[in-house]
């Protein structure tokens, strides 16, 4: 290919060349460009989004009207079944009084000469079940005694009492701490952090409240921009005025209040590169939305934040992830939680997320050039096959089809593969067309 030819090729950002492979790059580029003409005026796309948003807000509690299981899942917190444990958010006063009750009971038990013992719910993997009705992983209610007057459990009972006392102090001071802070307050007793972490989870289950209710927070890495205002620790934040960098999602969700928005949907983005493109192009001004990303694997703070937005604003959530098994895995963490936080799953999960893109079928539909697709590794294929067996995939026929397409073609692609049609193709053509065609599943 001569330099001259290359220079004469397509414009900036568009892939050019005289490739003979199919689909040919230049053809693909001009086809991709032709899709731009399919776009209807924004007003028409906005009307589509408005009806989606209103359908979503009518189903109460939050959850799309099309998904009855999601509604049930969210309703379940109001009346947790006695046979399983779904812990819930509690305010500081409520957690404090629960701790007081536990400690009073222990004191009475000691005074009556019976010593004391904690009843600790089992968090073992064998005790974790997926409830299809709720679309969530929960803990079966099965408690074991942790008596102080037993050489096998004396140490753990002591640690439990200590953690209860530390949490009580944190709540009284009205501050937030990390797991690491907690560990360092009594290294001699805890020995290593795994022990204080484990007991913290026990305490969370014992008190029936989330870890964030205990004011023990995770570090945040998520960011948000778009049509959203909220108060972070009393400071009013307008997310349309957060530049390209966006607002860091706060680690302590209980300090978030006054959530308001005129958005029509929430756009959940897997990667920060796509987030940056959307933020710089101020995509939310053209299509009113809230854009957020955890920059890869979702952290607890971002999951809590997304759930709060979904519950309070009752907006549809559309996801933009890579077209690979890992992208779907990320969706599963947002939707169903991860195994090791199952007892807290109800408060961390956002059911009913729609898979907007990039989907395996998009690769041909948008004629993504062969060179921008990547072959799946053996590990990818293994993960993909495992996902096919997962309930959250199985219950959505569209997802099964997409995953089968991925495994059949053995091809994956990143969101950024769309850059082959121009740096702003994502925001100017791909996403608007997706929204116009209501192309989410």
Residues 17-76 that bind its own copies (CB under 8 A): 17, 19, 25
Piece of 47-55, 160-168, 340-348, 349-357 that binds its own copies (CB under 8 A): 160-168
Q: How far is the CB of 36 from its own copies (least distance, A)?
A: 16
| Active site amino acids | 184
Of 16, 65, 94, 405, which one interacts with its own copies (CB under 8 A)?
A: 16
Cα R_g (the chain), whole angstroms: 25
| Residue 30 CB burial class (10 angstroms; 0-12, 13-18, ≥19) | middle
Q: How far is the CB of 196 from its own copies (least distance, A)?
A: 12
Whether residue 334 contacts residue 298, with contact meaning beta carbons closer than 8 Å, is answered with yes
d(CA 351, CA 7): 49
User: Which 77-106 residues touch its own copies, going by CB under 8 A?
Assistant: none
Q: How far is the CB of 331 from its own copies (least distance, A)?
A: 21
Q: 59 or 117: whose CB is closer to its own copies?
A: 117
The DSSP line for 77-130 is: GGS--TTEE--B---HHHHHHHHHHHHHHHHHHHHTTS--EEEEE---GGGEEE
Residue among 333, 299, 310 nearest 220 (CA): 299
- Is 33 labeled as ligand-binding? no
User: Which 201-220 residues touch its own copies, going by CB under 8 A?
Assistant: 217, 219-220
Q: 15 or 363: whose CB is closer to its own copies?
A: 15
Return the axis-axis angle of helices 92-111 and 193-207, rounded to nearest 10°: 100
Of 295, 396, 401, 409, which one interacts with its own copies (CB under 8 A)?
A: 295
Of 223, 266, 346, 353, which one interacts with its own copies (CB under 8 A)?
A: 223
Token pair of 217, please? 């927070």
Q: 42 or 272: whose CB is closer to its own copies?
A: 272
| Cα 258 versus chain centre, distance | 21
User: Which 351-390 residues touch its own copies, going by CB under 8 A?
Assistant: 369, 371-372
Does the footprint of its own copies cover residue 247 (CB under 8 A)?
A: yes
Of 420, 429, 430, 432, which one interacts with its own copies (CB under 8 A)?
A: 420
Q: How far is the CB of 226 from its own copies (least distance, A)?
A: 13
Of 132, 245, 258, 398, which one interacts with its own copies (CB under 8 A)?
A: 245
Token pair of 440, please? 């989410």
- Is 260 labeled as ligand-binding? no
Residue among 185, 249, 255, 248 nearest 213 (CA): 255
Whether residue 87 contacts residue 210, with contact meaning beta carbons closer than 8 Å, is answered with yes
Does the footprint of its own copies cover residue 408 (CB under 8 A)?
A: no
Cβ neighbors of 49 (< 8 A, separation 6 or more) are 264, 265, 287, 288, 435
Binding mask 161-200 for its own copies (x = CB under 8 A): xx--xx-xxx-xx-xxxx-xxx-xxxxxx-----------
Q: Binding site for Mg(2+): residue ranges?
A: 270, 322
């Amino acid at each position: 290919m001569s330099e001259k030819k290359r220079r004469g090729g397509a414009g900036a950002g568009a892939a050019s060349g005289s490739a003979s492979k199919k689909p040919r790059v230049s053809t693909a580029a001009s086809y991709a460009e032709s899709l731009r003409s399919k776009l209807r005026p924004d007003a028409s796309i906005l009307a589509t989004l408005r009806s989606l948003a209103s359908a979503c807000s009518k189903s109460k509690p939050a959850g799309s009207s099309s998904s009855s299981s999601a509604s049930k899942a969210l309703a379940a917190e109001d009346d947790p079944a006695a046979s399983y444990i779904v812990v819930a958010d509690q305010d500081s006063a409520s957690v404090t009084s629960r701790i007081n009750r536990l400690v009073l009971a222990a004191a009475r038990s000691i005074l009556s000469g019976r010593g004391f013992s904690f009843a600790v719910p089992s968090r073992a993997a064998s005790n974790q079940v997926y409830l299809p009705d709720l679309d969530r992983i929960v803990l079966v209610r099965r408690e074991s005694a942790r008596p102080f007057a037993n050489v096998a459990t004396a140490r753990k009972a002591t640690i439990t009492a200590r953690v209860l006392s530390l949490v009580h102090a944190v709540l009284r001071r009205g501050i937030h701490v990390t797991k690491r802070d907690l560990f360092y307050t009594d290294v001699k007793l805890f020995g290593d952090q795994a022990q204080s972490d484990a007991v913290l989870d026990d305490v969370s289950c014992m008190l029936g409240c989330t870890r964030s209710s205990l004011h023990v927070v995770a570090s945040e890495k998520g960011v948000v921009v778009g049509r959203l205002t909220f108060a972070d620790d009393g400071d009013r934040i307008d997310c349309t005025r957060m530049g390209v960098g966006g607002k860091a999602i706060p680690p302590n969700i209980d300090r978030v209040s006054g959530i308001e928005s005129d958005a029509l949907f929430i756009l959940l983005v897997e990667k920060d590169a796509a987030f940056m493109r959307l933020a710089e192009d101020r995509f939310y001004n053209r299509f009113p939305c809230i854009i957020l990303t955890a920059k890869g694997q979702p952290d607890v703070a971002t999951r809590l934040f997304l759930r709060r937005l979904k519950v309070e604003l009752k907006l549809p959530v559309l996801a933009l992830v890579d077209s690979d098994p890992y992208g779907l895995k990320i969706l599963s963490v947002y939707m169903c939680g991860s195994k090791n936080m199952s007892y807290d799953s109800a408060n961390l999960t956002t059911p009913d997320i729609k898979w907007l893109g990039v989907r395996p079928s998009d690769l041909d539909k948008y004629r993504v050039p062969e060179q921008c697709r990547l072959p799946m590794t053996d590990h990818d294929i293994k993960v993909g096959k495992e996902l096919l067996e997962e309930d959250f995939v199985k219950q959505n026929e569209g997802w099964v089809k997409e995953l089968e397409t991925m495994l059949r073609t053995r091809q994956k692609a990143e969101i950024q593969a769309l850059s082959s049609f121009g740096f702003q193709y994502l925001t100017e053509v791909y996403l608007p067309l997706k929204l116009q065609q209501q192309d989410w599943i």
